[in-house]
């Protein structure tokens, strides 16, 4: 079927836009650069900053933006607004009567990405060759097929985005509960107010805010059986005023093990194999739960020699050099039962009779936990945490009674399970997209052969 389609060059259906606009006319949320374009067709995030002066390229809704540096990162975005972008971003504008979502699908084809890599110029910072990119050839589908291909890709992207939004909400929900119980001490303040117990001066403003919340018509108190687990008094400690009877511990007090990654000489590219024991690096630590996929592997025999750097389900992994502050929990449904951390990581294995991995991943991802973790960091050269394992051992934090930690797990663990299930759904959707699109674009797969995307990959 595809052999009957007209073979064309990309320049026959798109133009590269070079219209300039003063950067002062573009707001930060409408500014796009390679830095705030996300890899693997992930779209964009809000930029941290933009140039103070100068001209940038103007784009409109329906244009397709493509990061032209290291094109193998697959940074591509269909603009949903007018804005401006840096000179390292190519703006493709589909010509009249050409469907933007269809062109987006063509540019997401791995064949196009590989073509841009092969024709790039430069070694240290390879840039795509715009002339060569415009000469990229593909089979132009008939209009009916263009519309269907665009619709399918849009549906998959929409599902992926929906899962991403849901997971952000799930993480926010669990962190909100953590903050309410273990940072703001809302249930303890509630109990103290009801019992008429004194509130420490340092907590007076918090208690006043809490009272306003309690006075709201839609206020829903915790069930009595849960509130009864919380104290109704406070005491002053080295960490300030905390619920009476709660422990202040150091990380080493609740740890079964705190360990470092191997020396760089012990784990090199030359030791990688196609399958075996996976290596954890910073790219796997962007979420509260470890991200599986795109791992390098070493042999089980090599992993045995590095057993002091082996990590397992429920271990907490940190980054001490580079993207410091990263911290993730290996979930109970992780793809592998054993991993080796890279030289830039270190880990905590929690003694579950003394504390909770679930509680601690929330703590170390919270504002307080991040502050404690990074208090020994240096920003000179490559950002790093000095003496990471020793530093982690000596971090002091509030460790509530185990009965409360178990109760917290009853709420937060199901949220994590749904988070993980949604993410696995996303992996399936991405694999489906990467399999379907090339076959649809080439004409190898007919529309009649398509699966029902509304039922085949539902989110949790």
The candidate with the shortest Cα–Cα distance to 440, out of 156, 95, 152, 155, is 152
Number of neighbouring beta carbons within 10 Å of residue 104: 22
- Res. 329: pLDDT tops 50: yes
Same domain for 115 and 19 = yes
- Grade residue 263 by pLDDT with cuts at 50, 70 and 90: confident
Percent of the chain with pLDDT over 70: 96
Whether 460 has a pLDDT exceeding 50, the answer reads no
Average pLDDT over residues 326-347: 96
- Region 365-385: mean pLDDT is 91
Average pLDDT in the 223-238 region? 96
- Here the CATH number for the domain that contains residue 132 is 3.90.220.20
Q: What are the tens digits of pLDDT across the range 386-415?
A: 999 999 999 999 999 999 999 999 999 999
Same domain for 456 and 393: no
Residue at a domain's end among 103, 118, 138: 138
Give the per-residue pLDDT at 294: 87
Per-residue pLDDT at 454: 54
Q: Do residues 78 and 186 both lie within one domain?
A: no
Token pair belonging to 266: 């012990």
Q: How confident is the model at residue 453 (pLDDT cuts 50, 70, 90)?
A: low
Q: Which of 138, 157, 183 finishes a domain? A: 138
Distance of CA 381 to the CA centre of its chain: 25
Write down the pLDDT at residue 455.
Answer: 54
Which residue from 37, 258, 4 is spatially nearest to 139, judged by alpha carbons? Answer: 4
3-state secondary structure of 44: strand
Same domain? 146 vs 104: no
- Which whole number is the average pLDDT over 78-105? 96
Q: How much of the chain exceeds pLDDT 90, in percent?
A: 84
Convert the pLDDT of each residue in 32-51 to its tens digit.
999 999 999 999 999 999 99
- Per-residue H/E/C for 150-173: HHHHHHHHHHHHHHHHHHHHHHHH
Q: How far apart are CA 305 and CA 340, in angstroms?
A: 11
Residue 350: domain span: 249-399
Residue 244: inside a domain: no
Which tokens in the block code for residue 434?
């990467």
2 confidence band (pLDDT: 50, 70, 90): low
> Which residues have a Cβ under 8 Å from the Cβ of 372 and sit 6 or more positions away?
395, 396, 397
- For residues 99-118, give the mean pLDDT: 96
Residues 259 and 373 in one domain: yes
379 in the same domain as 293: yes
In a domain, 240, yes or no: no
Determine which helix (DSSP H) or strand (DSSP E) holds 139, and give its type and residue range: strand 137-140
**Are 389 and 260 members of one domain?**
yes
- In this prediction, residues 25-31 reach a mean pLDDT of 96
Q: Are residues 429 and 458 in the same domain?
A: yes
**Confidence at 260, pLDDT banded by 50, 70, 90:** very high
User: Measured between alpha carbons, how far is 40 from 386 in angstroms, rounded to an integer?
Assistant: 33
pLDDT at 5 (0 to 100): 87
Q: Please check the confidence at residue 306 and state whether its pLDDT lies above 90.
A: yes
Cβ–Cβ < 8 Å for 139, 6: yes
How would residue 63 be classed by pLDDT, with cut points 50, 70 and 90? very high
Does 262 lie in the same domain as 159? no
The H-or-E segment that residue 227 falls in is helix 224-227
Question: Rounded mean pLDDT of 81-109?
Answer: 96
pTM of the model: 0.86
Same-domain check for residues 417 and 456: yes
The count of domains in the chain is 3
DSSP strands (E only) in 230-326: 234-237, 240-243, 247-250, 255-260, 277-280, 297-298, 310-311, 316-319
pLDDT by residue (tens digit) across 232-244?
Answer: 999 999 999 999 9
**Domain presence at residue 88:** yes
Burial 79-101 (b: 16+ CB within 10 A, else e): beeebbbbebbbbbbbeeeebbb
413, 364: one domain: no
Residue 422's pLDDT is: 94
From 399, 415, 433, the end of a domain falls on 399
Q: Given pLDDT bands bounded at 50, 70 and 90, which one contains residue 446?
A: confident
Average pLDDT over the chain, rounded to whole? 93
216 and 321 share a domain?
no
The Cα 132–Cα 71 span in angstroms is 13
N- to C-terminal Cα separation, the chain:
37
122-147 pLDDT, tens digit per residue, is: 888 899 999 999 999 999 999 888 99
Tokens of 332: 């109970």
175 vs 421: CA distance, rounded Å: 19
pLDDT at 384 over 50: yes
């Amino acid at each position: 079927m595809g052999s009957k389609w007209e073979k064309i060059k990309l320049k026959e259906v798109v133009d590269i836009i070079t219209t300039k606009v003063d950067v002062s006319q573009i707001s930060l949320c409408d500014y796009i650069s390679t830095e705030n374009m996300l890899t693997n067709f992930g779209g964009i995030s809000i930029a941290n900053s933009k140039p103070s002066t100068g001209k940038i390229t103007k784009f409109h809704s329906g244009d397709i933006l493509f990061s032209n540096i290291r094109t193998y990162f697959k940074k591509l975005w269909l603009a949903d607004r007018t804005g401006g972008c840096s000179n390292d971003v190519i703006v493709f504008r589909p010509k009249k009567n050409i469907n933007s979502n269809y062109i987006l699908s063509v540019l997401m084809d791995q064949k196009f990405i590989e073509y841009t890599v092969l024709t790039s110029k430069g070694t240290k910072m390879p840039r795509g060759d715009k002339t060569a990119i415009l000469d990229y050839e593909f089979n132009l589908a008939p209009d009916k097929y263009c519309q269907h291909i665009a619709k399918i890709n849009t549906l998959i992207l929409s599902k992926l985005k929906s899962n991403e939004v849901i997971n952000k909400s799930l993480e926010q929900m669990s962190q909100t509960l953590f903050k309410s119980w273990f940072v703001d001490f809302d249930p303890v303040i509630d109990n103290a107010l009801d019992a008429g117990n004194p509130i420490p001066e340092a907590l007076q403003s918090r208690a006043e805010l809490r009272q306003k919340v309690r006075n709201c018509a839609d206020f829903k108190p915790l069930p009595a059986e849960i509130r009864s687990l919380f104290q109704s008094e406070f005491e002053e400690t080295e960490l300030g005023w905390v619920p009476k009877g709660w422990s202040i511990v150091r990380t080493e007090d609740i740890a079964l093990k705190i360990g470092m990654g191997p020396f760089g000489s012990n784990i090199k590219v030359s030791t990688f194999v196609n399958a075996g024991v996976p290596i954890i690096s910073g790219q796997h630590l962007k979420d509260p739960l470890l991200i599986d996929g795109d791992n390098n592997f070493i042999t089980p025999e090599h992993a045995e020699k590095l057993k002091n750097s082996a990590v397992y389900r429920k271990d907490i992994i940190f980054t001490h050099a580079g993207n410091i502050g990263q911290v993730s929990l290996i979930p109970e449904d992780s793809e592998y039962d054993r991993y080796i951390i890279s030289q830039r990581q270190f880990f905590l294995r929690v003694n579950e009779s003394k504390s909770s991995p679930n509680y601690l991943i929330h703590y170390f991802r919270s504002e307080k936990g991040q502050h404690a973790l990074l208090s020994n960091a240096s920003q000179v050269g490559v950002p790093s945490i000095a003496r990471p394992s020793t530093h982690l051992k000596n971090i002091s934090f509030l460790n509530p009674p185990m009965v409360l930690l178990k109760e917290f797990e009853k709420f937060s663990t199901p949220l994590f399970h749904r988070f993980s299930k949604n993410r696995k759904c996303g992996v399936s959707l991405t694999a489906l997209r990467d399999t379907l699109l090339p076959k649809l674009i080439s004409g190898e797969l007919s529309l009649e052969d398509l699966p029902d995307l509304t039922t085949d990959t539902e989110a949790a």
